[in-house]
C-alpha cells in the first residue's frame, strides 16, 4: 500500500506509539489532533482502597485535588499507564492487558474494594463485580483542533491512520469531510470495534486490532501498510 502511518493520538501516548512504530520500520507521521486539559473536580467524601485509571492523563491533570491520594495504590489499564503513575510517585497494585473492564473483573475477591476512578470526559461505563465499588470523577477533557493545510495534503497522498479513541475517530472523520480529503485513499486501523463503528463509510479499508492495545494496533497497521 505504501504511504505514511498517521498517529492522531495526543501525548503522553503519542511518543510511545511513534517509538514503537519506528522500531518496526514503519514511516510514522505524528499528527495529534487533540490535547488534554484539566477539569475542576472534587474528591468524593468516602474511603478508597485504590485509584483506577484508564489513561495517565487521569493523574497528570488531576491537579491539587490529588493531594493526599498518593498513598493509594493504582490499578492501571496497561503497562505504559502504570509506568506513568509510578513516575508520579504512586505504587502499582495491578496492571491490565486490554481494557479496564477485564482488569476490574480480575480484581482479587478476598476482600471488598472501593476504587476512585480518575477518568476523561469521554469514558466507557464499567460493570463492577459485587465486591468492587467504583466512584468515577472526571479530571480532564480532550480538546480537538482542525486539520492544517499541510496535514490535509499529506493525508491526500494516502496511508494508514491509527484510531485510538472514538472521539478522535469522529473528529478526524468530520475534518476529512470538511477539508475534502480523499478518504478512498486512506485505510483505517482501529484499536477496538466500538471505535471502528463510530466512523462513516467511504474509506479504502477499515480493520480492527486483534486486541485493544498499542502493540496489536501497530502490528495490524504494519500488515495493512505492506
Domain ranges of the chain: 4-33+147-225, 36-142
Using one digit for the tens of pLDDT, what is the confidence trace for 57-74? 999 999 988 888 889 999
Q: What was the pLDDT predicted at 120?
A: 94
CB under 8 A, 24+ apart: contacts of 17-23: 17/162, 17/164, 17/214, 17/218, 20/214, 20/215, 20/218, 21/218, 21/221
Determine the straight-line distance between the first and last CA of the chain, rounded to whole angstroms: 6
Helix (H, G, I), strand (E, B) or coil at 170: helix
| Percent of the chain scoring above 90 in pLDDT | 80
Same fold, 4-33+147-225 and 36-142: yes
Distance CA 67, CA 17 (A): 30
Using one digit for the tens of pLDDT, what is the confidence trace for 210-219? 988 899 999 9
Cell numbers standing for residue 198: 463510530
C-alpha dihedral over 88, 89, 95, 97, to 10 degrees?
10
Q: What was the pLDDT predicted at 2?
A: 66
Higher local confidence (pLDDT), 144 or 124: 144
Using one digit for the tens of pLDDT, what is the confidence trace for 163-198? 998 889 999 999 999 999 999 999 999 998 989 999
Helix (H, G, I), strand (E, B) or coil at 110: coil
Model confidence band, residue 121 (pLDDT cutoffs 50, 70, 90): very high
Using one digit for the tens of pLDDT, what is the confidence trace for 73-114? 999 998 888 998 999 899 999 999 878 999 999 998 989 999
What are the distances in angstroms from CA 30 to CA 10, 120, 142, 189? 9, 22, 17, 15
CB 105 within 8 A of CB 87: no
CB atoms within 10 A of CB 178: 11
CB atoms within 10 A of CB 61: 20
* CATH architecture of residue range(s) 36-142: 3-Layer(aba) Sandwich (3.40)
What are the distances in angstroms from CA 175 to CA 80, 93, 152, 212? 29, 40, 9, 25
Q: Characterize 23-58 residue by residue with b for buried, 16 or more Cβ atoms within 10 angstroms of its Cβ, and e for exposed.
A: eeebebbebebbebeebebeeeeeebbbbbbbbbbb
Helix (H, G, I), strand (E, B) or coil at 197: helix
Q: How many CA atoms lie within 13 A of 157 on its CB side?
A: 10
CATH number of 4-33+147-225: 3.40.50.10090, 1.10.10.10, 3.90.380.10, 3.90.1150.10? 3.40.50.10090
Distance CA 78, CA 16 (A): 13
In the predicted model, is pLDDT for residue 128 greater than 90? yes
Mean pLDDT of the chain: 93
Q: What was the pLDDT predicted at 1?
A: 58
Using one digit for the tens of pLDDT, what is the confidence trace for 132-158? 999 999 999 999 999 999 999 999 999
Amino acid at each position: 500500500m505504501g504511504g505514511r502511518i498517521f498517529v492522531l493520538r495526543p501525548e503522553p501516548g503519542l511518543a510511545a506509539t511513534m517509538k514503537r512504530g519506528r522500531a518496526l520500520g514503519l514511516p510514522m507521521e505524528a499528527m495529534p489532533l487533540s490535547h488534554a486539559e484539566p477539569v475542576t473536580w472534587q474528591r468524593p467524601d468516602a474511603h478508597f482502597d485504590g485509584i483506577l485509571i484508564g489513561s495517565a492523563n487521569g493523574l497528570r491533570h488531576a491537579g491539587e485535588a490529588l493531594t493526599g491520594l498518593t498513598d493509594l495504590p493504582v490499578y492501571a489499564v496497561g503497562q505504559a499507564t502504570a509506568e506513568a503513575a509510578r513516575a508520579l510517585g504512586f505504587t502499582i497494585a495491578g496492571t491490565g492487558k486490554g481494557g479496564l473492564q477485564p482488569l476490574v473483573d480480575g480484581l482479587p475477591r478476598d476482600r471488598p474494594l472501593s476504587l476512585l476512578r480518575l477518568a476523561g470526559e469521554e469514558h466507557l461505563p464499567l460493570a463492577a463485580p459485587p465486591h468492587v465499588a467504583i466512584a468515577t470523577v472526571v479530571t480532564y477533557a480532550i480538546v480537538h483542533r482542525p486539520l492544517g493545510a499541510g496535514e490535509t495534503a499529506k493525508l491526500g497522498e494516502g496511508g494508514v491512520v491509527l484510531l485510538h479513541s472514538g472521539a478522535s475517530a469522529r473528529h478526524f472523520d468530520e475534518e476529512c469531510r470538511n477539508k475534502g480529503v480523499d478518504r478512498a485513499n486512506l485505510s483505517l486501523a482501529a484499536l477496538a470495534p466500538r471505535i471502528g463503528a463510530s466512523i462513516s463509510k467511504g474509506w479504502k479499508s477499515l480493520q480492527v486490532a486483534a486486541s485493544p492495545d498499542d502493540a496489536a494496533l501497530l502490528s495490524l497497521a504494519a500488515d495493512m501498510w505492506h
